[in-house]
Structure 1
Amino acid sequence: MKRVTGIGGIFFHAQDPAALRAWYARHLGIEVLAWGGAALPPSAGHTIWSINAAEDGGFAPGRASFMINYRVDDLDALLAALRSEGCQVLDETSDSEYGKFGWVIDPEGNKVELWEPPAGQ
């Protein structure tokens, strides 16, 4: 099952970058490359995703809070898989003209949004 199929671009800090990268690789299927990030394949170009050590200071002086939105092929199947893997999946989901949405909490308490676009998009 494909898990994540694309995003815009994400760069963020983590208290334990190696553990957080491993969590995203195992549970969301993001292949983390040697440089600590990933290039995800959208329809055109590529998307950059990267986790950096919190103490590297790259975002100083700001400390943004965020939620990442990941495109997925089959939201219901992915949420079921994440639950069976012991992930903290929120019970609430949303189904609207914009698609289906669900959420999982990563090991550092970040809320991650999973989005299955409407058919044909």
Structure 2
Amino acid sequence: MAKVTGIGGVFLRARNPERLTEWYRRHLGVPMSDGGAITFHPADAETVSFALFADNTDYFGEPGQRAMINLRVDDLPALLAQLRGQGVEVLPQTEDSEFGRFGWCVDPEGNRIELWQPAPGM
């Protein structure tokens, strides 16, 4: 039987793609092309998750947000402080779990973004 072997990409609709591309470059350091794309080439040891949530979850933020990006980061506390200093909306809570540390920010179009510093070995 044919099957899915991994996540091929994450795609967002944007009201202003050029502005959103620049925001992801400047605030999160995502080296996006002028066309608003990047292809990551993760190390073999990295993981990618695919999860389904109940329609009424508040985990994604606003009820109209149908998907959420989870971005792997190298230093969550430093990045959150940097984002706050740049005037980016950063949620006040963080979460520590066996999977690592999590924090959240919101892009200029209202998309909640999960920032994840993986636990060692993940």
TM-score, normalised with respect to structure 2:
0.73
Mapped to 2, the partners of 1:23 and 1:75 lie a distance apart of 18
Number of equivalences? 97
| Distance across 1 between alignment mates of 2:78 and 2:8 | 23
Q: What do residues 38-96 of structure 1 show as CA deviations (whole Å, max 9, x unaligned)?
A: 1123114xxxxxxxxxxxxxxxxxx9711100001110010011001110000010001
The residue aligned with 1:26 is 26
Q: Distance in 1 between matches of 2:8 and 2:28?
A: 16
Which secondary structure does the structure 1 equivalent of 2:109 belong to? coil
Q: Quick one: percent identity of the two aligned structures?
A: 52
Give the Å deviation of 1:119. 1.8
For residues 81-100 of structure 1, what are the structure 2 equivalents within 5 Å? 81-100=82-101
Partner residue, 1:111? 112
Contact (CA 8 Å) 2:102, 2:115: kept in 1 or not?
yes
| Runs of at least 4 residues off by over 6 Å | none
Q: Which has the higher contact order (CA 8 A, sep 6+)?
A: 1
Taking the aligned partners of 1:85 and 1:107, their CA distance within structure 2 comes to: 13
What stretches of structure 2 of length at least 5 have no aligned partner? 1-6, 45-63
Question: Could you tell me the TM-score, scaled by structure 1's length?
Answer: 0.74
> For 1:114 and 1:21, how far apart are their aligned partners in 2?
17
Q: Match for residue 37 of structure 1?
A: 37
User: Which ranges in structure 1 are unaligned for 5 or more consecutive residues?
Assistant: 1-6, 45-62
